[in-house]
Chain A
Amino acid sequence: MAAPKSTKKSNISADELKGHYRDMLLIRRFEEKAGQLYGMGLIGGFCHLYIGQEAVVVGLEAAAEEGDKRITTYRDHGHMLACGMDPNGVMAELTGRDGGYSRGKGGSMHMFSKEKHFYGGHGIVGANVPLGAGLAFADKYRGEDRVTFTYFGDGAANQGQVYETFNMAALWDLPVVFVIENNQYAMGTSQKRSTSTPDIYTRGEAFGIPGEAVDGMDVLAVKAAGDKAVKHCRSGKGPYILEIKTYRYRGHSMSDPAKYRTREEVQKMREEKDAIEHVRDLLLSGDHASEEDLKAIDKEIKEIVNASAEFAKESPEPEPEELWTDIYADVTPQNQVAGEGEETNAN
């Protein structure tokens, strides 16, 4: 990995470090549970797990301020948990229940939270990139000092609209951090086989957008890079690109046998580079936490995740009426073609 390692002599506090450990562990355990519920048939369709990439969102969320926005693609569970969305609501959306963030109508790939400034959850590769620039445009238009984190993968980095967006974001100095989560595989196609340049962030140079590669298995390196990018955006200098080199341990989705890489490759990453183990080592070796402290965190996380699974199983399916709601913001159409009824005012 070309990206530099963070210095171990960071002046980060023990509490912050423990917080990162906790946040990353929550994502991992939540995703493992989601995989389990998928296996039981409680979660359907596509389900893209974030396991392995936890340091990316946890590091960047640590660099975000209240009111900053985030938007991502379909591997989105980690982003939602990291920005403080309720695990119960996320898990219940995965099971397609009324208690889910979209009341069961969105699913794994389509969840949102206005309260947490999380703008989805988008299923079309690359399409969330102009949307993220648009969110940043809205902030700049209103004169609000906000930054939008726009996440996408190494696969999306080959979509044309990404570069249309780079151009306009640079032209209009939009306060957007483009976060390329490079997990090295666009579904089953390795970066080598899909991407003409080894470092994707250098593509920003063509548009005058500064960028850098970051070790995505090191949460402190991600946080430091995030701070730098956010500072650049807030100072009015326009967009910034972070290419965060990371790795997903699981398949692209639940039905991916992952034959495009070896078991050994995955095992090596898990054993040598795991982001959670890294922080665990820092905590213990630096005497920031004891084994007992970490066990207590593990236990707390396990309880949260188990509670979310229970909630997601108990929550009822959406009412049949939900089929017809939220199509329009102002009216509820009811099979008008067949004369089933008038449009009614929803508000």
Chain B
Amino acid sequence: MPTEILMPALSPTMEEGTLAKWLVKEGDTVSSGDILAEIETDKATMEFEAVDEGTVGKILVAEGTEAVKVNTAIAVLLDEGEDAGDIDKAAASAPGSGSGQTQEAPDERAPEKATAKARSGAAQGEALTPNTEPDWPQGTETANQTVREALNSAIAEELRRDDSVFLMGEEVAEYEGAYKITQGLLDEFGARRIIDTPITEHGFAGIGVGAALGGLRPIVEFMTWNFAMQAIDQIINSAAKTLYMSGGQMGCPIVFRGPNGAAARVGAQHSQDYATWYSQVPGLKVVQPYSASDAKGLLKSAIRDPNPVIFLENEILYGKSFEVPVLDDFTVPFGKARVWREGDDVTIVSFGIGMTYAMEAAEKLAENGIEAEVIDLRTLRPIDYDTVIASVRKTNRCVTVEEGWPVCAIGNHISAVLMERAFDWLDAPVINCTGKDVPMPYAANLEKMALTSTDEVLEAVRQVTYR
């Protein structure tokens, strides 16, 4: 049976091309790999090779022909023992011949799930499931603990629980952590499981991801998240996307953790909040705790999570103390915001160190008779939208607070979701309190100005409450 040689697609975007030159003529014998023709694509002139052996029976498209559509038959190749007479027979028996291969057109199925929800439905009041559960049962004994101690005990408990958990990073073992989060761990767990790495973020992040693909549960400490920019390709391209790219075969259970955001007077390269960077990436989970109980409960959940988790801590919060429940195995689930303070007049949404401004502002507002509801998102992917929306339905006003930059801030995203899903309940525009749109300056006064502040939160609340 004669074989049609079709106009090939020679680039990802090519739809048609020019048949610049034939390098064979009718009657020539060709074998696999021989150049048949030169074809001009949208990018370059390409040589087009024979795939099958045979004799060129007929050239159907003359050289110099422009705009030859991909998959048009351009020549006919005869097999051993065939002659030109077979071509017509073949043409008669193949109705599609000459106009292209019998390639199925891609199935133009309409997307079954409309991406845009009927917004009017949202205005009617969709059912919400705000988080009203306490993090631990009433009456549970609590102890006062710093965030640092809470993180340390979370790691230690998970190392005890599961031998596949190990910790790697710079100065985590013998030095016991640049910020002393890993104090005592080398003593208890040994050098097999608490591993000092060279200063080589890109490399050890990749080794961590490889170990996770190989079935371990690594905790990779970045001395600070600033240095993780060297490793962000491994975090996103290798850790976050592999499960999807593998059709669900290769999960990557790994925790990347360390201090994030501004510390104090360490300048532009050491003072950046990455909340919004990582929260944009499907495949990652992102946690930014404020309190010690959340630091502990969420880190334990992160280590057990079968997905890559970004765990953003804060150096200034490390030394802050909170009540932590005394329980054998205390975990906090992802995607549940915590309402720290109830109020009817305004909703203040924050996370991480932003909560210190939010809480301080709420106390001052209460002195002036304004009751703020303060919500700590705790996890930024997934975000607990329902708890925020339910609160805004009650207060009709919202202010967001974070230390990161203002463009594409988490607060911007919350505002957009409120616009879509709570528009009819809003009595004022949502205001985002954020860090300023500048690299972090060193000078004490300028650094203070560059961050957001309790005063800015108070001013924002005054604006949305029209007082």
Residues of A within 8 A of B (CB): 32-33, 35-36, 38-42, 44-46, 69, 71, 100-106, 110-114, 119-124, 127, 129-139, 141-142, 160-161, 164-165, 167-168, 171, 249, 254-255, 257-259, 263, 270, 313, 316-317, 320-321, 325-331, 333-340, 342-343
Contacts and interface: CB of A to CB of B under 8 A. Distances in A.
B103 A325 contact: no
A141 B305 contact: no
B99 interface: no
B9 A127 contact: no
Interface string B292-311: 00000000000001110000
Given A39-B9, A40-B103, A44-B12, A137 B247 contact: no
Interface stretch (B39-47, B265-273, B321-329): B39-47
Given A40-B101, A254-B11, 19 more contacts: A40-B70, A40-B71, A101-B249, A112-B249, A120-B250, A132-B210, A134-B213, A136-B210, A139-B214, A161-B202, A165-B207, A168-B203, A255-B10, A255-B11, A328-B307, A329-B248, A330-B305, A336-B382, A336-B385
Contact of B250 (A114, A138, A168, A171): A114
A103 B237 CA distance: 19
Contacts of B439: none
A341 B307 CA distance: 21
B51 A160 contact: no
B interface, over-half SS: loop
26 contacts: A32-B32, A35-B49, A39-B8, A39-B10, A40-B103, A41-B70, A102-B249, A105-B244, A112-B249, A127-B238, A129-B206, A132-B210, A135-B211, A137-B214, A138-B211, A160-B202, A255-B41, A263-B47, A320-B109, A330-B305, A330-B307, A336-B383, A338-B115, A339-B122, A340-B115, A343-B335
A329 B247 contact: no
B162 to A, nearest CB: 13
A303 B35 CA distance: 25
Nearest to B250: A112
Interface residues of B, number: 83
Contacts of A313: 104
Contacts of A110: 245-246
Contacts of A36: 51
Contact of A326 (B247, B253, B335): B247
Contact of B420 (A103, A112, A321, A338): A338
Nearest to A107: B245
B415 to A, nearest CB: 12
A168 B197 contact: yes
Contacts of B306: 328-330
A327 B417 CA distance: 22
B404 interface: no
A171 B204 CA distance: 12
B369 interface: no
B243 interface: yes
Interface in B103-161: 103-104, 106-107, 109, 111-113, 115-117, 122, 126, 129
Contacts of B417: 337
A333 B382 contact: yes
Interface string B308-350: 0000000000000000000000000001000000000000000
B385 A106 contact: no
Given A328-B307, A333-B382, A336-B382, A138 B247 contact: no
B332 to A, nearest CB: 16
B105 to A, nearest CB: 10
A275 B74 CA distance: 33
Contacts of A122: 237-238
Contact of B243 (A138, A255, A328): A328
A321 B112 CA distance: 8
B6 A40 contact: yes
A339 B117 contact: yes
Contacts of A168: 197-198, 200, 203-204, 207
B245 A106 contact: yes
B210 A257 contact: no
A133 B208 CA distance: 9
B289 interface: no
B247 A105 contact: yes
A165 B214 contact: no
Nearest to B14: A255
Given A103-B247, A327-B282, A167 B242 contact: no
Contacts of B209: 130-131, 134
Contact of A131 (B109, B238, B382): B238
A46 B283 contact: no
Contact of B237 (A127, A164, A336): A127
A127 B233 contact: yes
Contact of A135 (B106, B205, B214, B383): B214
A335 B212 CA distance: 27
Nearest to B213: A119
B64 to A, nearest CB: 19
Contacts of B396: none
**Which of B49, B192, B233, B247 has most chain A Cβ within 10 Å?**
B247
Interface in B359-399: 382-383, 385
Contacts of B458: none
B198 A102 contact: no
Contacts of B385: 336-337, 339
B166 interface: yes
Contact of A102 (B35, B207, B245): B245
A338 B8 CA distance: 42
Nearest to A255: B11
B421 interface: yes
Contacts of A257: 43-47
